[in-house]
Amino acid sequence: MAIGISTVPGELQWQRPLPMKLTYHISKIHTIKSIPSDEISAVFQRSFNRWSQVIPVEFIETEEYKLADINIGFYHPWDDWKSIAYTVYNPKKEIRFRARLNWTVNIRGDDLTSRSFDLEAVAVHEIGHVLGLYHSLNEDSVMYKNSLGVMDLSVEDVENVQALYKSQRFASPSLLSWLKNNGVYVAVVE
């Protein structure tokens, strides 16, 4: 099952001076009851932080729907039977999740059933679209078109988003891989 839309790489990236601040709003109306709202908020904070660790973009949650750069919600009825989530550009960016699915938190790999979806893994993927990234053919990438529960950004994910947001690229993929494996991310504006 697809988890996002395809976009032209970089076409939909944010066009603001760096470092950049973007606000996001999680709907209190379009929500689900299976996960408490504070836990949903924590999932999105972690998901946005994964990206802000590698690019000079800070994401700030706001209660102001109309003022938010990015709106997030869970919806039914669902107009796209193939997707579990997708990103809308209208011109605001909106991440929509299918409300009637079994959303889980902190469930990895083999623990996922065909009837459950890890909210954080899907959120990280959709945020990649919000930033302007295209689907990847790499199954280890969070931008892979089908959810496999991947939450950690791959070397490819980092290099692609840093290219869009003009962050200093690391000298080699092996250095980036070593830094990633040791929990170190650096984002520097060129």
Please identify every residue annotated as catalytic.
Answer: 126
76 annotated ligand binder: no
**Contact in structure between 117 and 74 (CB atoms under 8 Å):** no
**Contact in structure between 187 and 36 (CB atoms under 8 Å):** no
Contacts of 27 (CB under 8 A, 6+ apart): 65, 71, 72, 73, 74
125 annotated ligand binder: yes
User: What is the phi/psi pair of residue 179, to 5°?
Assistant: -60, -45
**Contact in structure between 52 and 99 (CB atoms under 8 Å):** no
**Contact in structure between 26 and 40 (CB atoms under 8 Å):** yes
152 annotated ligand binder: no
In one-letter notation, the amino acid at residue 93 is K
111 annotated ligand binder: no
Please state the residue numbers annotated as binding site for Ca(2+). Answer: 69, 79
Please state the residue numbers annotated as binding site. Answer: 69, 79, 125, 129, 135, 143
